[in-house]
Amino acid sequence: MRYLCSCSFDGLLFYGSAKQPEKRTVCGTLELYISKILNKQTLIIPSSRTDKKVHANIFCFHFDTEQTLDPKKFTNSLEKLTPDDIHIISTELVDDDFHARYNVITKEYVYIINKGQYSVTKRNYQLEYNKPIDVEKLKKASNYLIGTHDFKSFTSDNEKENYIRTIKYINIENDNDLIKIYICADGFLKYMIRNIIGLLLEINESKKKVEEIPKIIESKDRRKLGIKASPNGLYLNKINYI
């Protein structure tokens, strides 16, 4: 039988979501405690792969077991075992052909930027930019990124066969001192969002022009970009399934 779980996590003390030898990761931690509950080594399949220090308001994964589980009891048991920086939200029985990764239609990330006074207590959960942001300028720039493009310029991964992704929307909200940038797509490349945010910030500072974006996309060259934004302000925010 196959079960789908959802959780949230604080990524500060994790080396990302994917398992790594001798590193504290989200999937490694979840597998450890699920295997204890089921009394059998159990592999989990995650919906996404997140970088070191990236957070998640929602993160999904599936696993297979021969045992019949009570979803609510399993959720409560796993919640009791996992550390405080992981919260188990729910568990449900799904069809055997369901796949936590391949059945994803879209994912939404949100990036949080503080343009106000430096916050020592929130510095690990938002980008401490601490200077004005021209939201209208960023919105104009974002329009060039929405749609289907080859985003090879926005990743350092040179081993992909396909760099084409479709960004459904980029919404920018001004919430007092916080700028929240929501990006939804059918998939993301390694560092793609952080590179997009870095580009937007360079445009905000007039280091790059809005009109340069089509040429950057067409170049398929990461060197045409500048900074890669910090992971601290990035959250996996929504996962939409078929």
Active-site positions read 51
Pick from 126, 59, 51, 118: which is nearest to 86 by CA?
59
Alpha helices in 20-146 (DSSP H): 26-38, 71-81, 135-142
The C-alpha atoms of residue 239 and residue 225 are separated, in whole angstroms, by 28
Residue 166: both structure tokens together = 């479709």
By CB atoms closer than 10 A (0-12, 13-18, 19+), residue 188 is buried
Cβ(124)–Cβ(232) below 8 Å: yes
Q: Are 9 and 53 in contact (CB under 8 A)?
A: no
